[in-house]
Homo-oligomer: A and B are copies of this chain.
Amino acid sequence: MSCNLPVGVFDSGVGGLTVVKEIMHQLPNEEIVYFGDTARVPYGSKSKETVTAYSRQIVKFLQTKKVKAIVIACNTASAFALETIAKEIPVPIIGVVKPGAKTAAETTRSGRIGIIGTEGTIKSGLYNEFLHNTNESLQVFGKACPLFVPLVEEGWIHDPVTKEVASRYLAELHEKDVDTLVLGCTHYPLIRDIIHEVAGNGVTLVNPAYETARTLQELLLAQGLLADENAIPDHKFYVSDGAEKFREFANSILPCEMAETKDVNIITFD
């Protein structure tokens, strides 16, 4: 395996770009091949079997791009598919849930942690599992927030409607008196301001993206796979539908202009 091969990153759509942004920041020499499954987005309301089948197809696609490592930049797919797929492929693969849980455990002072995410991520109970593995006494409260993704995709990032929806969703966690809140869906950092405002100053928000990029760095370092320090990456973006729309969204999130986004029929990689 050569250290100048790319890192594969995938998500159900655009949300994973918040993780890409963090990888670009922390590991500026790493080349990224991104895949967004825009033809089948969202994953958050779908079953474990379906999300695993979709993730498997994408991993096969990324392997054709000769990636040296894979990051599942989607909480739902990390929760549902990572464990299964890690056993099936020779390429090292990480998700966002474990890094997110690690940061939350390190952040909390009161030991009361809230997790917000999609229905799938919350139902999986995987954040609880990782947090309890770290420290059995932690109290973890999950809340699914299905409207956050469509609100972000509608672009209502600083909108009173989004604030009202956030107040509704977070009321339960407020009652539980959490001091740490995990943004357990890669779309949520895009409405971080509103979530912060509603949650209040006493609650620290955790974005798993930061620790995920760190975990990737440790993994590449341990395996002697970090890119050369003078490498100039040529990132590539693929989607299963609507390349042009994706490109617009991505250019508003990422620090660099994307050269090109290609449409791929992912089913042919099954």
Contact = CB atoms under 8 A, between A and B. Distances in A.
Interface of A: 38-41, 45-47, 49-50, 146-147, 149-151, 153-154, 160-161, 164-165, 168, 240-242, 267, 270
6 contacts: A50-B242, A150-B150, A160-B164, A161-B161, A164-B164, A267-B270
A47 B242 contact: yes
Nearest to A159: B168
B46 A241 contact: yes
A241 B45 CA distance: 10
Nearest to A49: B241
Contacts of A267: 267, 270
Given A161-B164, A161-B168, A153 B45 contact: yes
Nearest to A146: B154
Contacts of A154: 146-147
Nearest to A41: B45
Nearest to A156: B147
Contact of A147 (B38, B40, B151): B151
A241 B50 contact: yes
B45 A39 contact: no
Contacts of A49: 241
A52 to B, nearest CB: 12
